[in-house]
Structure 1
Amino acid sequence: MTNHVQRSGTFLALTCVGAFATAPAYAEDKVVAPEPQQVHGADDILVNGERMRRDADPKDVAPIVNTPRSIVELNAQTIEQTGSVTLQDALRTVPGITFGAAEGGNPVGDRPFIRGFDSQGSIYVDGVRDLGSQSREVFAVDSIQIVRGSDSTLGGRGSAGGTINIISKLPQARDFGSVSGSYGNADFKRFTGDLNLRISDMAAFRVEGVYHDQDVAGRDAIWSRRWGVSPSVTIGLGTPTRLTALYYHLETDELPDSGLPYRYTLANAPGTGNIRVEPVLGRFTTRGGVTGNVDRSTFYGLRNRDFRKTNTDQVMFRAEHDFGGVTLRNTARFTDTRQRYIFTQPDDSQGNVYGNAAVNPNDSAGSITSGGYVWRRANTRWGYTQGLIDQTDLYGTAETGGIQHSFSVGTEFAWEKTRRGTYLLATGSTVSPRCNAATIARYNCTSLFTPNPNDPWVNYVSDSSAVTTPIVRSPVTAETQNHGITQAVYGFDSITIVPQLILNLGARYDRFKSSAITAPTATTQLKVSRTDSLFNWQAGLVFKPTAQTSLYGSYATSATPPNSLLGEGREDNALPTTAATANFLDQLKPQKTRSYELGAKASLINDGLQLGAAVFQTEISNTRVQVDPNTIQFIGESRIRGFELNASGTILPGWTVFGGYSYLDARIIDGGTSTLTAPAVGARAAQVVYVPSVNTGKRLPQTARNSFTGTTNVTLFGRLQLGGTAIYQSRVYGGYQDNRSAVQTAAGVVTINPATKVLYRSTPGYWRFDARASLDLTQNVSVAVNAQNLTDKAYFSQTFTTHYAGIAAGRTVFGTVNVKF
């Protein structure tokens, strides 16, 4: 490990070359998609992982039943049958995955939690890390693979709870095509197309496209619009040498959803002891005695201020050659992701929702203390992420001394860059409390019960100025730029010692160099850089009582170095970005995770149905903790214990199932320390003291103890399909806060006053039900109807530590016409 702090008088032009890619072959519990022309038919789902092994996954060194990992694959048929149109939609059908919301420095975009750990930075496309924050589509997706447990051996840095790998649709050696059009309530409109043309005996061209436009059922004002296209070509199909080129483009434009605020703050929550606080929904009475109703449709944002626009462009080139039973493959990918938004966060932190006990004596504008108001805090960001990636893989089979090996070795090189800034707004952030006559008049504060998204908000030079000004980007001095360079080598081997005993090994070494560049002033630049060497490994032993069953045990590690996300997510282990915090650099080190897992698998009914069960424990033993402004320690500890059950495939001809159950006992064993300040007494200066964190012993945030999903589809009379999905998720906690305080005597003796309140911010558990029916009118034409959230349940789909939670869409019903050719 090396560190480097650099200042220069002016900004330097930064040029970097490099690349990085990883193509994890997650070979377990695979539900393999049928041929594209069969998507709307009644064909059974196939699950023979070895026969359907994907060339896109060179690290897939063993068939399903012989892989000692907990992995689930969502195929294109399941994605379509559930009516999923985004990555988040699709992942909700997998038990054990929850979703976090955007807040503060965490950008808007996909933020899944796997086994209690934030996996926002562990999402891959065709095995290549897709770091840029975005809301991903599924129109060009062939399947989605979810690996659970510590996974840095496969995916590189991070991956504490698991990884998500999105497999793209690529050209096939035949002609086929399909188009579909959907329309439903909330002005739901969606059109997709998929065309594959065999242009010669050895070449094929494929292109997918989407146009999507909808409001959000049950939510006022919110809308979303996007379009995308993904052409690709392969030369050399059916030959030992193959070349593939792919381009992907997606543009989105939306009014982002601001959710609902929590009811209370620590200061104004009524009662004592442990207080569970949920978002405001339904009937609510403020401190001042005002009673009203907060409907699920209530929207606190502003139509003329809020927006979110994103652009994603990806180019991939792949060359591969077969040498008998061994294949050499090189993948290169360039990605450019851009995002800009102004997002209203309905902020509860100032006590305006329930009300405050007293008027701020420094406020001359007439504070509103009775409650019933919401501050329209604006989270803003503009930025981009670029990555240049190159990966070389050599994989195949070999035999040494009568022992069979299925192996994969490779190298990765990556250059990644992110840059971000904000927009300049006057939103009342300098007024305390936030809601008074002046901020209400400027629409920076609005009614809790009857907000108007059409309020004529305008921007001012400052909160105290009467001069209006356009919204502009922050100056260069407020921007941050991050770079990451990765060099990695890895290897995997599935060793069949005897037919009943298989040893699975993997190891990976990464050299990760990253830097954070900021501009403290207009003429100076602060650059902080660091290099970390990471070694991770995994090992598993598989015992096979029969050819179609297995028992296994496995161990795996992961490591999250400082600046792992390059600012594109919640950075728990960030590099310092100011001169005042640059002294942190020498204290930093990677956070490390380890996972233990025992499991059993079975492939039944001629490999048509696959069952899996696993018990596991995942530990982080050195989580970063901020002790005081000048000191950090790696003393935090978290532990997750649980078990999972999975089923996927065909029960009877024409009857398919997908889903499972997950139980997670997720605890913060040691949250480190927090600081309290004992105020000055006479000539005695204030003292800072350390106390155990309020998080110690609490449930890990963003983790549901119990979750269940089940999707089924039944074909009747050869033409009619009926299906549905049931989703259950228990209560999810966002964060904790208490009111301990410190006082001192004139002699300097400090006393800690114990907490009289402990706040548990959370969202309640829920059941959600979806339904589907489809009918084949002809061999090539079918119609389908999807009803999502059939009971119109009002539930929260995203939970954050403070301020607010995201509320899910209401009942959404849409019909689809599919045409194949």
Structure 2
Amino acid sequence: MTGNAQRTIAQGASTLAIGCIGLFSSTLPAMAQGTDQAGQAGEGQNLGGVTVTDTAIAEGSYKVERMASPKATAPLLDTPKSITVISRQVLADTNSSTLSEALRTVPGITMGSGEGGNPLGDRPFIRGADSQASTYLDGVRDIAAQTRETFDVESIEVTKGSDSVTNGSGNGGGSINIVSKAPTDKRFAQIDGSLGNAHYKRETVDINQPLSDFVGVRINGMYHDQGVAGRDAIWQKRWGIAPSIKFGLTGPTSLELDWYHLHSTELPDSGIPYFTTINNQTSANAETAPLSTAPTTLINGQTITRSRGAFYGLIDRDFRTTNTDALTARFEHVFESGLKLRNTSRYSNTTQEYIYTQPDDSQGDVYGVAASINATASSMVPGTVWRRANTRYGSQSGFVDQLDLSGKFNTGSVRHSFAAAVEYSWQTSGYGAFVSNAATGTALSTGSTLTPRCTAAAIARFYCASAANPNPNDAWASTVSDTSNTSAAIQRSAPASMTLANSSTVSASLFDTISLSEKLMVNLGGRFDRYVTNASAAVVAPYTASRTWQGRTDNIFTYQAGLIYKPVSNGSFYISTGSSAVPPGSFLAQGSEDNAVASATIDPNSLKVQKTTSYEVGTKWSLFDDQFALSLDVFQTRTTNARYTDSNGIVAFIGEKRVRGVEVGFSGNVTPKWSVFGGYTYMPSKVLNAGYTATTGTNASGLAATIYAPAALTGHAFPNTPTNSFTLFTNYKVTPKFSLGGGAIYMGKVYGGFSDSRTYTNGVLSIVKTRAVYVPDYWRFDANAAYQLNERIGLRISALNITNKLYYDQAYATHYAHQAAGRTVIGTLSLKY
């Protein structure tokens, strides 16, 4: 499917989205007439948890008292974990329309990039761990590869440290729980329309309408269309709708039914190539950053200057389309004793397909390679880059049913606040690739079979582009091979070529916050999971062999334990520990994992569960009349049983990683007019054991031999883990109607990966060169202003990356880094009823 075809689909979808929003808005006048007396001038009106008057700007709170999860047994102040909750008001004030944009407000989190088996989509790293498979929606696992929206999000809960005890497999460095909007018994409506530079257009609608004292509905809708400031050719379009109905608005018994649909299509960003490779770096030990926009000298003496907007993809080939649907039913009953019973059932399905160009530096074309190093270098054209095509089509479906019971009871003078749960879930997924011949599985004609990649002939076929000024309109054509002139249609690979996976889980958990006295509390939790996973690797062309499956069953116990001391009612000190477990195959082909089940050479029964243990000591305070939360913690996270090759060349579970650090967090109102949100994280990390790498050469006797020595990553920092990171977002009410705000983000240097080149000659192993790829540290600044014309109409201007800083927000282990958007100024008109 071509990029033009995708744009046609997007235009049709946008028409549908606008029609939906028009339908919603037609109900507003009637709703406005039905506004209760609380909405009249001079009195407060509740707008989805936000209280406004006719003389004040609508504002919510940056501070959140407790998590929405039914497994939370105490307020955040009395929970012995590092937890950050991004409230709806923070999302609005920071103009965060996606999950990745929202997570930039939390220090210590970086976003990883796709490639290497990782599908495009959200890939957050928390405390050095890939948390792609540790994302939850209303407490239910949601690992499908996608780019998540915020139009139907009430808050985002980020738990740092080992957290499998709460939600199950994964969570080595932390987890993310997205809390969706739900119907309430208050009547309100809000429509936001936004325009900005780089063709930015966004419309959202949020209507909550009680139909009676018993039944209420809520409808959220969104249409989004934008380019990307400072980047050539790239565009993004999406629309979504999320209706819900609730029976029993005021309890004690309720049933809520939700549907969520999101469709997105885009020309994905292909990123910027790193400048040098390990073969052409100018010293034995070197670090390389992405190709600079400053004048850069190549190996042949030529000087090039990369344009800031350089886009290495192809407009008529590249595309990405995703569709997400989720149906949820939640029943809840509160007994007279205060016990709460809740059952949540959800079915979800996500599909994704894309072709996106990765500017691949692996051949050394960007800087150039000397003929003394590579005999084919004389035909290579320096100052070019190979357009490697990454392709994927796939789907993921899942069902979960979770039964929760929570409440409080006393045993003598000891008070208990408990939560118990039993869960059942299954998930299935699969993915294949786009090819030029489904019968033979022949890859798209991109020059992948040519050495070197970027010759004059390859450039003529548009397999390579200018590193300085690539042309996204190049007339690349799909052919049956890299050297053929015979056209071939782009098509999905054969079903047999798909990688398939499925899993089922049965689990039970119990949590209890035990108050021994007014000052001393104990927090305990345990979870048992029986995790069954099966996977089937792709069948090799010509697909005559039968598909084979491999599987295993893991019985996993995880825990948490904490001791809390409260010297005063508004402060606490704590010490805690927790564990997490990542069973083999738990990413379910939705991300790259180092412990996959499907393998032709490894018995799945010999695999082991990857385990992480966290320790944390901290303090939390509620200040300024309980309007401001402040926290400080010191932590260590240690992962063992990572799968690597041992010194004998045998797969073993010897990998170890450790991260230690200090974190400060703050959120809330310093004064009635001044709100702040953010924190600082100091997080030095170290890979203690990354396994062993094989080098083939000759032994002391001159005979052919292979030696295994520690891998290049051993002893270095974790990829995607900055040592220092800081965020601060603030808003100040200058007058009752006018407010000013802004934000600052600092991200330290982030490494994408480490590699080296080695020789083994006459029994002597020499590490010839070591290479690290990284993106530089950066500061980014935002600003915003808002003015409330009256109780119904408000204006807001947001300036993101106001200094137009060129920086990179994702680093991959090889090949490329992702360049962030330039200055983006967005104006928003809000209508409230």
Question: In the alignment, is residue 256 of structure 1 matched against residue 268 of structure 2?
Answer: yes
Question: In the alignment, is residue 408 of structure 1 matched against residue 419 of structure 2?
Answer: yes
Could you say if the C-alpha distance between residues 175 and 41 of structure 1 is closer, same or farther in structure 2, counting changes exceeding 3 Å?
Answer: same
Partner of residue 355, structure 2: 342
Q: In structure 2, what is the Cα distance between the partners aligned to 1:191 and 1:212?
A: 6
| 1:265 equivalent among 277, 280, 301 | 277
The answer to whether the 8 Å contact 1:359/1:367 transfers is no
Partner of residue 758, structure 2: 740
Partner of residue 383, structure 1: 394
> What code does the residue aligned with 1:117 have?
A
Q: In structure 2, what is the Cα distance between the partners aligned to 1:606 and 1:435?
A: 65
Partner of residue 479, structure 2: 460
Secondary structure of the 1:498 match is coil
Alignment of 1:102-501 (within 5 A): 102-324=114-336, 325-358=338-371, 368-424=379-435, 425-501=444-520
The answer to whether the 8 Å contact 2:696/2:759 transfers is yes
Structure 1 position 476, deviation (Å): 2.3
- After superposition, give the CA deviation of every residue in 1:333-388 in whole Å (9 maximum; x if it has no partner): 0110110000100000011111122299997xx96435101000001000000001
> What code does the residue aligned with 2:388 have?
R
- After superposition, give the CA deviation of every residue in 1:175-214 in whole Å (9 maximum; x if it has no partner): 1000010001001000000000000111110000000000
Gaps of 5+ in 1: 1-31, 745-749
| 1:551 equivalent among 573, 596, 601 | 573
Alignment of 1:732-811 (within 5 A): 732-744=750-762, 750-753=763-766, 755-811=767-823
Residue identity over aligned pairs, in percent, reads 45
Could you say if the C-alpha distance between residues 131 and 623 of structure 1 is closer, same or farther in structure 2, counting changes exceeding 3 Å?
Answer: same
Q: In structure 2, what is the Cα distance between the partners aligned to 1:573 and 1:279?
A: 33
Q: In structure 1, what is the Cα distance between the partners aligned to 2:52 and 2:656?
A: 49
Structure 1 position 609, deviation (Å): 0.6
Alignment of 1:610-649 (within 5 A): 610-627=629-646, 631-649=650-668
Alignment of 1:646-725 (within 5 A): 646-678=665-697, 686-725=704-743
- After superposition, give the CA deviation of every residue in 1:377-408 in whole Å (9 maximum; x if it has no partner): 00100000000110000111111122110000
Secondary structure of the 1:418 match is strand
Secondary structure of the 1:726 match is strand
| 1:41 equivalent among 50, 54, 57 | 57
Q: In structure 2, what is the Cα distance between the partners aligned to 1:254 and 1:134?
A: 13
Secondary structure of the 1:739 match is strand
Secondary structure of the 2:821 match is coil
Q: In structure 2, what is the Cα distance between the partners aligned to 1:255 and 1:618?
A: 38
> What code does the residue aligned with 1:784 have?
R
Q: In structure 2, what is the Cα distance between the partners aligned to 1:458 and 1:245?
A: 48
Q: In structure 2, what is the Cα distance between the partners aligned to 1:680 and 1:437?
A: 41
TM-score, normalised via structure 1 length: 0.92
The answer to whether the 8 Å contact 1:559/1:591 transfers is yes
Deviates most, 392-401 or 684-693: 684-693
Structure 1 position 42, deviation (Å): 5.0
- After superposition, give the CA deviation of every residue in 1:548-602 in whole Å (9 maximum; x if it has no partner): 100000000001111110111121211134x3x2x34233101100000000011
Partner of residue 17, structure 2: none
Q: In structure 2, what is the Cα distance between the partners aligned to 1:801 and 1:615?
A: 29
- After superposition, give the CA deviation of every residue in 1:248-282 in whole Å (9 maximum; x if it has no partner): 00000100001100001101111223444444432
Partner of residue 597, structure 2: 575
Q: In structure 2, what is the Cα distance between the partners aligned to 1:448 and 1:361?
A: 20
The answer to whether the 8 Å contact 2:520/2:563 transfers is yes
The answer to whether the 8 Å contact 1:326/1:395 transfers is yes
The answer to whether the 8 Å contact 1:33/1:77 transfers is no
Q: In structure 1, what is the Cα distance between the partners aligned to 2:110 and 2:536?
A: 33
Q: In structure 2, what is the Cα distance between the partners aligned to 1:702 and 1:241?
A: 46
- After superposition, give the CA deviation of every residue in 1:751-784 in whole Å (9 maximum; x if it has no partner): 212x242111100000000000010001110001
Question: In the alignment, is residue 524 of structure 1 matched against residue 550 of structure 2?
Answer: no
The answer to whether the 8 Å contact 1:33/1:142 transfers is no
Partner of residue 597, structure 1: 616
The answer to whether the 8 Å contact 1:34/1:77 transfers is no
Secondary structure of the 2:391 match is strand
TM-score, normalised via structure 2 length: 0.90
Q: In structure 1, what is the Cα distance between the partners aligned to 2:57 and 2:163?
A: 36
Q: In structure 2, what is the Cα distance between the partners aligned to 1:524 and 1:48?
A: 54
The answer to whether the 8 Å contact 2:76/2:83 transfers is no
> What code does the residue aligned with 2:399 have?
L
Secondary structure of the 2:233 match is coil
Q: In structure 1, what is the Cα distance between the partners aligned to 2:698 and 2:224?
A: 57
The answer to whether the 8 Å contact 1:186/1:214 transfers is yes
> What code does the residue aligned with 2:404 have?
D
Alignment of 1:33-72 (within 5 A): 35-36=49-50, 38=52, 41-43=57-59, 45=61, 47=63, 49=65, 56-72=68-84
Structure 1 position 661, deviation (Å): 0.4
Q: In structure 2, what is the Cα distance between the partners aligned to 1:247 and 1:362?
A: 60
Structure 1 position 464, deviation (Å): 2.4
Q: In structure 2, what is the Cα distance between the partners aligned to 1:435 and 1:804?
A: 17
Q: In structure 1, what is the Cα distance between the partners aligned to 2:809 and 2:385?
A: 21
Gaps of 5+ in 2: 1-45, 436-443
The answer to whether the 8 Å contact 1:110/1:134 transfers is yes
Structure 1 position 627, deviation (Å): 4.1
Question: In the alignment, is residue 542 of structure 1 matched against residue 564 of structure 2?
Answer: yes
Q: In structure 1, what is the Cα distance between the partners aligned to 2:738 and 2:676?
A: 17
Secondary structure of the 2:102 match is helix
